[in-house]
Amino acid sequence: SQTIHQWPATLVQPVGSPLSLECTVEGTSNPNLYWYRQAAGRGLQLLFYSVGIGQISSEVPQNLSASRPQDRQFILSSKKLLLSDSGFYLCAWSALQATGGIGNTIYFGEGSWLTVV
Amino acid sequence: GENVEQHPSTLSVQEGDSAVIKCTYSDSASNYFPWYKQELGKGPQLIIDIRSNVGEKKDQRIAVTLNKTAKHFSLHITETQPEDSAVYFCAASVYSGTYKYIFGTGTRLKVLA
């Protein structure tokens, strides 16, 4: 079965410090990978998605970046965090090849709580 | 751009009553509509989904309906229980070279015992 892991689960970082959140998927190959952010009491905002190694699409211009160095690894980074970067970050995956031309189920990790102070 | 609107933002029901959450999507090409339940501090968990080639799907106490003409879909929970209390999100697929998923803003459901 497929599993998704992301870490760290929680972190508190000062303004201006760097960020690295990591996500890995097991039990599948060539997944689509996604990073979402959830601000306190808010919905899920798509930040980045990737269809393959080195292929990153950005949805929201900001001081965050994403990388996919390996097929099942997705990393969210920042060189200098802002207070507004605080939130709950969720990594997710779906099967790359849609069956019958219809979207596939998307599965989420357990999330990473980021507090920028 | 693509958008999914979700209502209501909060919903309180008595245990045993039914709960209905409604979503409207903007992209007429959307063809996959999942619903997620999120408990505090955890990642969203898929509870039911529907594809555009069907109008209704049911799984025990949970059902989802889809009206493609009106571009809206709804989640129905019958015989609600306290453990149904959580935040529920709807989503719609959007295709731009691959599938991405746009989420509604969530509904906080409280089931009162």
- Taking one residue from A and the other from B, the number of pairs with CB-CB distance under 8 angstroms is 70
pLDDT of B26 above 90:
yes
Verify whether the Cβ–Cβ distance B99 to A104 is below 8 Å.
yes
What residues in B contact A113, CB-CB < 8 Å? 41
Burial class (CB within 10 angstroms; exposed 0-12, middle 13-18, buried 19+) of B2: middle
**Closest among B28, B21, B36 to B2, alpha carbons compared:** B28
In chain B, what percentage of residues exceed pLDDT 70? 100
DSSP E strands in chain A: the ranges are: 3-7, 10-13, 19-26, 32-38, 44-52, 55-58, 64-70, 73-78, 87-94, 106-108, 112-116
What CA–CA distance (Å, rounded) separates A22 from A94?
17
Verify whether the Cβ–Cβ distance A103 to B101 is below 8 Å.
yes
What CA–CA distance (Å, rounded) separates B101 from B34?
9
Predicted local confidence at residue A100, as pLDDT: 58
A80 touches chain B (CB under 8 A): no
The arithmetic mean of pLDDT across residues A74-84, rounded, is 96
- Residues making up chain B, counted from first to last: 113
- Residues making up chain A, counted from first to last: 117
Q: How near does any CA of chain A get to the CA of B83, in Å? A: 19
What residues in B contact A109, CB-CB < 8 Å? 43
In chain A, what percentage of residues exceed pLDDT 90? 76
A115 touches chain B (CB under 8 A): no
What CA–CA distance (Å, rounded) separates A24 from A39?
23
The arithmetic mean of pLDDT across residues A40-60, rounded, is 88
Name the residue among A51, A107, A109 with its Cβ closest to that of B98: A51
pLDDT of B9 above 90:
yes
What CA–CA distance (Å, rounded) separates A85 from B83?
32
Predicted local confidence at residue B61, as pLDDT: 97
Predicted local confidence at residue A60, as pLDDT: 81
**Regarding predicted confidence, which is higher, A54 or B98?**
A54
